[in-house]
Structure 1
Amino acid sequence: MEEREADAKAKATRLMELVGHDFFDISFTIHPAGLTGEAPGKSSNESWAAKQIMRKYSSQQSGPEVVVTIMDADSHLSPRYFAQIFVDYMALSKEERAATFYVSPIVFDRNSHQVPLLVRTADVVWSGAGISTMYAGSSVCIPTSVYSVPLRLVERTQGWDTGYTAIGEDMHMYLKCFFAVSGRLRSKVIYTAASQCNVCSGDLGIRGYAGTVAARYQQALRHMWGMLDTGYALRHATAMLFLRARFWWCHGVGRRTLHHLKQQQPHLPSIHKTNMLTMLYRLLEAHILPLQLVVALTSSTLYDTAKSSRPLPSVLRVSFIICRACRLLGFGAMILFVYRYRAYHYLCVELRRADEKLARKLGDADNEKGAEPTTMASIGWREAVVFPVAGVLFGAIPALQATLMHLYSVRLVYTVSLKPLSARTQRSKSIDCESLP
């Protein structure tokens, strides 16, 4: 809990009373406000909590085996998530456990019928972007909102960063762990989706529509502010190469170097080059392509609309032909993705309802439209048609704004995304960290 939140201790105590019987052990900690070098946000909260975990538990040879799970307040995790982590973790050696990062796909399934088509389309694509890296054999899987890290790896990286450059805490922590093990991070996908809520302003009518779209744009800007992680990755990749070059120079050219310099060099594991290249490509997909593709495809479309009689150089002419083909193939791929996503969404809702029934917590949600697997049955050509608009509004424009703002500052105030208060109410209400029950 955060100290700046009103009645934080009372809320934590109340939560422990409500759910304490479901856990072997449960406790809470209060994150002080205004600590030096900290920027308010999820990453600094996690950093404080991790320090308390490391004080309570020890991952030394005689200590317990601990895995730290990070999730958003609106996340719903299936018991299968933790069961799969347990099975995988116990099958690994001590060295493998300390270099494994667990990620999970996400699905926006609890209030999709209550948000504008633009917002729903953006979140469907956001979910699909994360899933696209989780195929069999993928060596680099960047998490989205929900992930788990062994305490050994948390200690090795000294926990989460707390500055403004760590606003994209999920990707930032993944990169931090990635470089801590020289790119030899084992990404383990847990194939049980984490249920999430779409951004929702809570108002009705035109005001509610505009408020939800504006809230989703602010969330997209926060996501794109994470482009700072591209610079973080490039700096650490360069430093890693430099350290190994210095190590090679001191040990490989021994007669030319001083003995005391050799003693200063630690044993450095070799860099996993394939993972390094894959990681850089993932950053290209996440931070560069959203804007570059829009610029390329828009330019080629404008050219096709207003062709000039002047002959073009062959290279430029071929480029326009490729862009035209990319537009057609991209639209076809989007239709195929939406078609496949319907089945994915249906399965995720079915499994979540089964978990709720098993836990005897479904209550009166049987009659709740938002919990029905058919909520997204109408998804299809509308999302595919609207995708270009949603992609520009929640992808390219926030990326451009974040890039320009980075010229002046790396500071962005972390704001909690507006989410529905309860799926059982007819009118969803937005909440922030100051209004949690």
Structure 2
Amino acid sequence: MLVWLSRCLPGFSIIALAAMLVFAFSGLLTSALWLRIFPPSIFPPFEDPWNGLNIAQIVFVIYNVVVHIQMCAFTVRLGWSFTNMIKQTRLALQRRPLEVPITSTGHVETIAGPKMSINKPMDQIDERTPAPELIHAIILPNYCEDLHTLETTLKVLACHPRAKAQYEIYLAMELKEESSMMKAAQLVSAFEDHFLGIHSTFHPPGIQGEIAGKSSNVAFAARSIIEVHRSSLRMDECNVMVTVMDADTHLSRDYFTEIRRLHYNNITEANRAIYCCPIIFDRNSNESPILVRCADLLWSFAGISTMHPYTAIAIPTSVYSLPLSLAERVGGWDSDPTAIGEDLHMLLKCYFETSGNLISRVVYIPASQCNVSSDRGIGWRRTVDTWLARYRQALRHMWGALDSGFAARRTIGYLRFHQRCLFLRPRHFALLHLLWEAHFMPCHLTILMLFSVLYTLWTPAGLLHPTLAWAFGFTNTLRTLAFIGLNISVVLYERWHAICLNSRMKDMHEANIPDTGFSHRIWSRPQHLFERLCLPVSGTIYGAVPTIHAVFSHFWTDRLVYRVSKKPKFVLEELGVL
């Protein structure tokens, strides 16, 4: 019963919000009991702002203002994150010439100069004695993904200088997919000489309590990685970093070297650190419908907003890394239906298993992603199919609202069985706030905004209680300020986008991999200018609506059929290469 109640928390919150609006503004509550608890609104002279308001209306005014203030705070935090992101990304790219070369055995090459501690940052490391390097175990989960998508992703990884000495690739396949073995065999054969190792794992169907999808494939592959490195884990000498990514993700070499720098620079805390990076849609966004493009922008913004300089905890989106020793310590990845949002779920699991002492570090090198695409039909038919595909993807993302229930259960369990109260820590409040912002606020804000607009349209201004009139006017001002703040963030995003895209284009040109797609953003283009008006619309369609869809579905099921979104193919002729 507790599991069901906790997983339905977001749904119950919407019901509670709807009940508050009914109690506050419905004229149907005429019984003496309700009139005693909720007295009718009689507007006296404006001396006491709360006089004449019933309890539900007072709660509505306070909650409506608080939610809108949180919306404004989000845009401020986002702008702050982008300002810092631009600076830190430039610094990270400038560190590339200072990258310490390695030998074929995977050790730091001896360099002339004074010996320095391995605890120093990468741009200060100058070691005379070889030191063991990190092994990157990269999990590439896929289920019904196109072979071309996987090949291109592996080509990008294979062009990294450290790939052959340090990258172990794990193709996390789904056995129920008919072509999975054939795809794995082709990929292993084609790339076995380009990495330290390339392996394939096949998640079997029919395991009780598990579903087909990214989380199950990652969990199964991680168990194989743990077995491969079991001996070093037992001797506490494991130097393996696990990276989980999407099938279409393109990671720069700088992502892994930045993890190495952060790992060695904070070696005493390395066993309880998780590394997250921003995501950027810079491959086919110009060919995507504007609503889809805006939805992906907002999805990227949600993660980036948690990566400001003084964040208590940053939330990973699609791509993240953590030490294998930490993954083994917390029992690996979960693969039950509630872990469908595997990135956030793993962060929460590590957070609670470390008693709230998990450290999240931001890698300021973005992961390049594709927007959802469709190959059905042409013209408006393809556009409509892409809209529907993006909604299915949004529903899968918002199905991750199950993680709020997971966090609630773990918090209650911690209070019951631990002497120290985790709930009273400031960073725990920060984590709960981020969960509220992700799984509660989108639908609450949309409902409050729609109600405020409709109620003020239907009710003559003279009949509004002065406090209600003030609340509606103030929240309208806050919405305007939030819209302006979001547009400022888009301007900052375009500056950061140009830095990242130019760096990736240079890398792909040097590696002779032209078919990865490049989407430039030019602010003066009508399609990019029009985005600024479409962001709130897209946020409602692909944020609030699928959230409401998901959280009410959780009343009767926690299972969602995992459907893979179509990825684009980049034809060389279209790119001007042939």
TM bucket normalised to smaller: 0.7 to 0.9
Decide whether the 8 Å contact of 1:41 with 1:414 is kept in 2: yes
**What is the alpha-carbon distance in structure 1 between the residues aligned to residue 210 and residue 570 of structure 2?**
32
2:266 maps to 92
Q: In the superposition, relative to structure 1, how do residues 189 and 405 fare at CA in structure 2: closer, same or farther (>3 Å)?
A: same
Match of 1:64 among 229, 238, 247: 238
Q: Which residue identity is paired with 1:338?
A: V
1:252 maps to none
**What is the alpha-carbon distance in structure 2 between the residues aligned to residue 374 and residue 179 of structure 1?**
40
1:195 maps to 368
1:182 maps to 355
2:556 maps to 408
Q: Which residue identity is paired with 1:33?
A: P
2:334 maps to 161
1:135 maps to 308
**What is the alpha-carbon distance in structure 1 between the residues aligned to residue 519 and residue 567 of structure 2?**
19
**What is the alpha-carbon distance in structure 1 between the residues aligned to residue 521 and residue 175 of structure 2?**
42
2:430 maps to 278
1:373 maps to 520
Shift of 1:271: 6.9
**What is the alpha-carbon distance in structure 1 between the residues aligned to residue 469 and residue 305 of structure 2?**
32
| TM-score under structure 2 length normalisation | 0.66
- 1:22 matched to 2:194? The reply is yes
**What is the alpha-carbon distance in structure 2 between the residues aligned to residue 232 and residue 349 of structure 1?**
37
**What is the alpha-carbon distance in structure 2 between the residues aligned to residue 392 and residue 425 of structure 1?**
37
| TM-score under structure 1 length normalisation | 0.86
Decide whether the 8 Å contact of 2:282 with 2:519 is kept in 1: no
> What's the CA shift string for 1:403-436, capped at 9, x where partnerless?
2211111111111112213354759xxxxxxxxx
Shift of 1:20: 2.3
Q: Which residue identity is paired with 2:468?
A: L
Match of 2:227 among 23, 30, 55: 55
What are the within-5 Å matches in structure 2 for residues 218-367 of structure 1? 218-244=392-418, 247=419, 273-362=425-514, 365=515
Q: In the superposition, relative to structure 1, how do residues 214 and 336 fare at CA in structure 2: closer, same or farther (>3 Å)?
A: same
- 1:8 matched to 2:156? The reply is no
Shift of 1:309: 4.8
Unaligned runs of 5+ in 2: 1-172
Q: Which residue identity is paired with 2:478?
A: C
**What is the alpha-carbon distance in structure 2 between the residues aligned to residue 168 and residue 41 of structure 1?**
10
Which moved further from structure 2: 104-113 or 340-349? 340-349
Shift of 1:220: 0.7
Task: Please tell me whether Structure 1 or Structure 2 has the larger radius of gyration of its CA atoms.
Answer: 2
**What is the alpha-carbon distance in structure 1 between the residues aligned to residue 478 and residue 423 of structure 2?**
35
Unaligned runs of 5+ in 1: 249-268, 428-437
Q: In the superposition, relative to structure 1, how do residues 334 and 309 fare at CA in structure 2: closer, same or farther (>3 Å)?
A: closer
**What is the alpha-carbon distance in structure 2 between the residues aligned to residue 375 and residue 320 of structure 1?**
37
**What is the alpha-carbon distance in structure 1 between the residues aligned to residue 509 and residue 314 of structure 2?**
31
Match of 2:287 among 102, 114, 117: 114
Which moved further from structure 2: 301-310 or 40-49? 301-310
| Structure 2 SS opposite 1:236 | helix
> What's the CA shift string for 1:91-135, capped at 9, x where partnerless?
3335x1221000010001101111101100111111111111111
Shift of 1:18: 2.1
Decide whether the 8 Å contact of 1:346 with 1:376 is kept in 2: no
- 1:387 matched to 2:387? The reply is no
Shift of 1:208: 0.3
Shift of 1:375: 6.6
| Structure 2 SS opposite 1:226 | helix
> What's the CA shift string for 1:246-267, capped at 9, x where partnerless?
x47xxxxxxxxxxxxxxxxxxx
What is the alpha-carbon root mean square deviation over aligned residues?
Answer: 2.1
| Structure 2 SS opposite 1:361 | coil
Shift of 1:380: 4.0
**What is the alpha-carbon distance in structure 1 between the residues aligned to residue 425 and residue 257 of structure 2?**
32
Aligned length: 399
**What is the alpha-carbon distance in structure 2 between the residues aligned to residue 149 and residue 23 of structure 1?**
20
Which moved further from structure 2: 62-71 or 113-122? 62-71
Decide whether the 8 Å contact of 2:285 with 2:519 is kept in 1: no
2:204 maps to 32
**What is the alpha-carbon distance in structure 1 between the residues aligned to residue 522 and residue 283 of structure 2?**
9
> What's the CA shift string for 1:144-187, capped at 9, x where partnerless?
10001111111111111111111111111111111111111111
Shift of 1:223: 0.9
Q: Which residue identity is paired with 2:553?
A: M
**What is the alpha-carbon distance in structure 2 between the residues aligned to residue 83 and residue 330 of structure 1?**
37
| Structure 1 SS opposite 2:280 | strand
Decide whether the 8 Å contact of 1:99 with 1:153 is kept in 2: yes
**What is the alpha-carbon distance in structure 2 between the residues aligned to residue 182 and residue 210 of structure 1?**
46
